[in-house]
Amino acid sequence: SQTIHQWPATLVQPVGSPLSLECTVEGTSNPNLYWYRQAAGRGLQLLFYSVGIGQISSEVPQNLSASRPQDRQFILSSKKLLLSDSGFYLCAWSVLSGTSGASEQFFGPGTRLTVL
Amino acid sequence: QKEVEQDPGPLSVPEGAIVSLNCTYSNSAFQYFMWYRQYSRKGPELLMYTYSSGNKEDGRFTAQVDKSSKYISLFIRDSQPSDSATYLCAMSEGSGTYKYIFGTGTRLKVLA
């Protein structure tokens, strides 16, 4: 069965510090990978998605970046955190179905980031 | 107008009640519809996944899609305090589109 891991679970960082959040998926090949941010009362905001190694699409211009160095690894980074980067960061995966064109999307446990 | 609208609640019901959660949407190209349950400080958990119009049942949960009205529902029968969570609807066009559009979630409280 498929499993998705995220770490760290919780992070407190000062403004201006760098960030690296990691996500790995087990039990599937060539997944589509996603980074979302969830702010209280504002729903899920899609930040990045990737359909393959080295292929990153950005949805929101900001000081965050994403990389996919391996098929099942997705990394969210920042060189200098802002207060507004605080939130709950979720990694997700899906597999594009050849027949239906879509599949369910599954989420990781999330990383709660507080920038002080 | 948002692509997906969902009442934020909170919705409070007594234990054993039938719960109805709803989302409306504006994009007629959506074909895939999902419901997620999210407990506080946890990642969303997929509950139901449906394609096109119709009903799907899984235990105490029933998902309904009415594409003509652009309206989807999740029914929870015999609600339990453990059902207390935020419920998110999500939709996708499919056909090579990689994006999923989410509602903001409805907070449900089931009172013992």
In chain A (116 residues long), the average pLDDT of successive 10-residue segments reads 92 97 93 91 87 90 90 96 95 74 84 96
Burial class (CB within 10 angstroms; exposed 0-12, middle 13-18, buried 19+) of B42? middle
With b for 16 or more beta-carbon neighbours within 10 A and e for fewer, the A30-42 pattern comes to ebbbbbbbbeeee
Nearest CB partner across the interface for A42, out of B92, B98, B104: B104
pLDDT of residue A75: 97
- The residue in chain A having the minimum alpha-carbon distance to the alpha carbon of residue B6 is A43
Token duo for residue B98: 């990689």
- The answer for B 21-80 residues in CB contact with A (under 8 A) is 31-32, 34, 36, 41-46, 49, 51
Burial class (CB within 10 angstroms; exposed 0-12, middle 13-18, buried 19+) of A95? middle
pLDDT of residue B54: 86
Chain B CB within 8 Å of residue A47 CB: no
